[in-house]
Amino acid sequence: MVLALLGGKDVRHAELAARFPGSAHNASVIRRVERFFDRHPIQPADVARVVLTLLPSAQPREFILDRTNWKYGQTDVNVLLLAVIWRGVAILLLYELLPHGGGSHTEIRHTLMDDALCLLCAAEIRVLYADREFVGYDWIQGLACRGIPICVRLRSDTLMDDWTAKDWLSRLQTGTAGLLVEDTLVYGQPMNVVLTHTQDGEALVIASNAGAVTTIQTRYRRRFLIEDVHHFASYCGAAPVERGSGKNTRWCVNVGGNRQRNCSAG
C-alpha cells in the first residue's frame, strides 16, 4: 500500500486502486483500499521509513525544517515539516499539524526531530537547514545535545558573543559585501556566521556549526527546495483528520482542489 501511495503520488482511493494488479473490478479494489485504511491507518513514520529505505545509500544526508499554512475552507491548516534533500529535490518525511496559528514551539520541534531519530541516527544527518522561526537557546542547545548540526538564518537582534548581528553588520565598511565570522557563540554554541545584506537591503545573517564559513551562504540556498513541498501539499489539498485523542494530529488525506497558501518567511 505504501508503494502504491508513493507511485501514485496521491491518496485518493480510486487512484490507488488503479495501481493494484489483477482483474478485479475497480469498485471491488476501491473497497479493499477503504478497508485497509480503516483497519490499518498508515502513520507518517511508516511512509518515512520506506522513503529512507528506497533512497540510495549516500550518507549523511541534508534535511530541511520548515512551517507552512493554508486555508482548507474556513479552517487554517498550520503544519511543521521535515524533508530530506535528494538530487536537488526536497522529499517530505515527517510533519506535525499544529493545533494553533502562528509559529511553532520548541517542544514540538524537538518532538519532530526525536521522531526522525527513531528512523535514523544523528550521524546520518549532515545538516538541518532552517529559517528565522527556528531559533532560540533551548532549541539550538537541544539540537546540539542530539548531535544534529544546523544551518540557520538568524534575526538581526541575535547575540553573537557580546554583540548583536545588527551591531556586527554596522562594522561593514563601504564597498564590503559582508563579514565572515568564525567560531563565535550563538545561543551558547560555537558557530561560523555569514553577515551581509540582500538586494533589497535586508540583513542576511546565517549561522552554522557544519562546514566552512565560506560555503554557508551557498549551502543555505538549498533550504528553499522546501517550497515545492509547500506547493504540492496545498495544491493537492491536504486536510487534517483527527485520529484518537492525541495532542497533535499526525495524518492527512488528499481531497483534491486548490488551496490558499501562506509560507513562513525565510
Mind listing the pLDDT tens digit for each residue in 99-120?
888 889 999 999 999 999 999 9
- Residue 30 has what pLDDT? 86
In DSSP terms, 152 is beta-bridged to 130, 207
- pTM score > 0.75 for this model? yes
Nearest CA among 139, 140, 183 for reference residue 160: 183
Can you list the alpha helix ranges (DSSP code H) found in 44-169? 44-54, 106-117, 137-146, 165-169
Distance CA 67, CA 137 (A): 19
Distances (CA, A) of 38 to 32, 46, 180: 10, 16, 55
- Mean local confidence (pLDDT), 36-50: 80
Question: Higher-confidence residue: 229 or 52?
Answer: 52
Given a cut of 70, whether residue 83 has pLDDT beyond it is: yes
Given a cut of 90, whether residue 37 has pLDDT beyond it is: no
Phi, psi dihedral angles at 220 (to 5 degrees)? -65, -25
The pairs formed by 52-59 with CB atoms below 8 angstroms and a separation of 24 or more are 52/84, 52/93, 52/119, 52/120, 54/6, 55/84, 55/86, 55/91, 56/86, 59/124
Q: What is the mean pLDDT of the chain?
A: 81
- Residue 117 has what pLDDT? 96
What is the DSSP secondary structure assignment for residue 202, as one 8-state letter?
-
Question: Residues 207, 188: contact at Cβ < 8 Å?
Answer: no
Give CA torsion, residues 50, 53, 59, 62, to 10 deg: -10
Residue with cell 506535525: 96
Query: Ranked by mean pLDDT, which of 9-23, 166-180, 206-220 comes out on top?
Result: 206-220
Weakest-pLDDT range from 64-68, 82-86, 107-111, 234-238 = 234-238
- Residue 195 has what pLDDT? 95
Distance CA 48, CA 165 (A): 37
Confidence of residue 234 (pLDDT cuts 50, 70, 90): low
- Residue 163 has what pLDDT? 95
Distance CA 216, CA 221 (A): 9
- Residue 218 has what pLDDT? 94
Angle of helix 137-146 relative to helix 106-117, nearest 10 degrees, comes to: 10
- Mean local confidence (pLDDT), 32-41: 79
Question: Residues 165, 155: contact at Cβ < 8 Å?
Answer: yes
